A and B are shown apart, each in its own frame.
Chain A
């Protein structure tokens, strides 16, 4: 689905953000990349999405149906929830009926039915993130790239949205790469967790996660879960 072969990225000013990132993921995998801030996580996603070119190495993508969820929900404040969710289909030039159908489906899927005519400013942070997810879902992505999507949210909302993302993952069968600086979040969501070093970023650990999706919050208290989280935290600290 996505393969990084020895990818490095140096910015024109000289910052080396990625140094030899190497991994491959199969369709249906949920890969979480955990790393400290400034490690180059956003850069890695930009390179994966083609927003930036790697300086060295190659990126192979097996799909062009990519959904990108930015850390900021990036909603247009003048549009309603429905208008925001329909935006990407609009940019693709899909006919109006099709856009509205897709928007309605996606809004339903993220649990915002009844809020279609609200403006973003009347929504909570968690609801805005759901709108952002719904917006990406309208294009039926085969690969989802998520950049710390819950980073700005409180713990409770973050947990709840994590659970829903896990449910969506099962329902829509996309592949996903989610970057985060939270070990717990990475283990909770990932079918596999990659550990990224401090800048310049490299992959220094690769851990399969042996729980089925969709996951419930109970898994957080499973000894196997906490053991794995501890191992990953140790790898990060090394």
Chain B
């Protein structure tokens, strides 16, 4: 594809979006209501060029990213262990899976206040929210992947008397890798959302980006509010891209088609 075609259209769309933004700010909004949508250059001036404001935002972003990463890590550990256990015997699956589905279907917002009740209103509870929202896609995709092994491959391993462990490590886990990455990508996005939602409930300790969003909203600091919202969505985009890229690197050499993801949208 020529460079012109590769970069041209996205840049044009970007320019149009910015132009519309300015149009709304200056043509649609009266001056006293302009804080509802401050112009892009004002956001850059207040939130990026002011070192103190930028530092505050980046520290909060880093903290939220850390919370999301720890939550995701725990979800991956628990989720993959659960999926592997369930792949080993149907009775284990029948005993565990229903609870995971229930966990998945309870509205997160209904459970979150309980976390504060049990684990306090600080970092622990924020991390737990991430674990809760990230868990199911990991389990479902990993299990799907482990189960996707072709029957002939199982026959081959059976004929050569491979044990459970060998079968898991040399056959099932490699076969599941594309599905595991699909799950990771979904869960990573959810975990970022979880970190921000958790901030709204658990405000003790260092502020995350969600806490800042709430604070800026209350103080009508709309430039910083917009900057915080944009930064947190950039974090989500980065995480989605990162796991897509890592999955591609890990499996592109042999995996032909993308798998359908299992699990709900990150909404």
Contacts and interface: CB of A to CB of B under 8 A. Distances in A.
A and B assemble together: yes
Contacts of A234: none
B254 interface: yes
A51 B159 contact: yes
Contacts of B255: 77-78
Nearest to A91: B160
Instruction: Give the interface centre of B153, B158, B159, B251 by most chain A CB atoms within 10 Å.
Output: B159
B32 interface: no
Instruction: Give the interface centre of B155, B156, B170 by most chain A CB atoms within 10 Å.
Output: B156
B174 to A, nearest CB: 5
B166 interface: yes
Contacts of B159: 49, 51, 68
A70 B156 contact: yes
Interface in B144-176: 150, 152-153, 155-162, 166, 170-171, 174-175
B155 A51 contact: yes
A215 interface: no
B166 A121 contact: no
B173 to A, nearest CB: 10
Interface in A48-93: 49, 51, 68, 70, 72, 74, 76-79, 87-88, 90-92
Given A74-B150, A76-B153, A91 B174 contact: no
B152 A76 contact: no
A51 B158 contact: yes
A77 B253 CA distance: 9
Contact of B253 (A87, A88, A119): A119
A76 B255 CA distance: 11
Instruction: Give the interface centre of A49, A78, A79 by most chain B CB atoms within 10 Å.
Output: A78
B170 A78 contact: no
B177 interface: yes
B162 A78 contact: no
A97 B2 CA distance: 48
Nearest to B161: A91
* Chain B interface category by residue count: 20 to 34
Interface residues of A, number: 18
Interface string B164-208: 001000110011010000000000000000000000000000000
B254 to A, nearest CB: 4
A121 B174 contact: no
A134 to B, nearest CB: 14
B256 interface: yes
Contact of B153 (A74, A90, A119, A120): A74
A78 B153 CA distance: 13
Nearest to B174: A78
A59 to B, nearest CB: 16
B160 A88 contact: yes
Contact of B170 (A77, A90, A119): A90
Interface in A92-126: 92, 119-121
Contacts of B155: 51, 70, 74
A91 B153 CA distance: 13
A91 to B, nearest CB: 5
A74 B157 CA distance: 10
A72 B156 CA distance: 10
A136 to B, nearest CB: 10
Contacts of A77: 254-256
B254 A91 contact: no
A120 B157 CA distance: 18
Nearest to B171: A76
A49 B162 CA distance: 15
B157 to A, nearest CB: 7
A87 B167 CA distance: 12
A78 B169 CA distance: 13
12 contacts: A51-B158, A70-B156, A72-B152, A74-B152, A76-B171, A76-B175, A77-B256, A78-B253, A78-B254, A91-B161, A91-B166, A120-B254
Given A74-B152, A76-B174, A77-B256, 14 more contacts: A49-B159, A70-B156, A74-B156, A76-B153, A78-B175, A78-B253, A78-B255, A79-B254, A91-B157, A91-B160, A91-B161, A91-B170, A92-B160, A119-B254
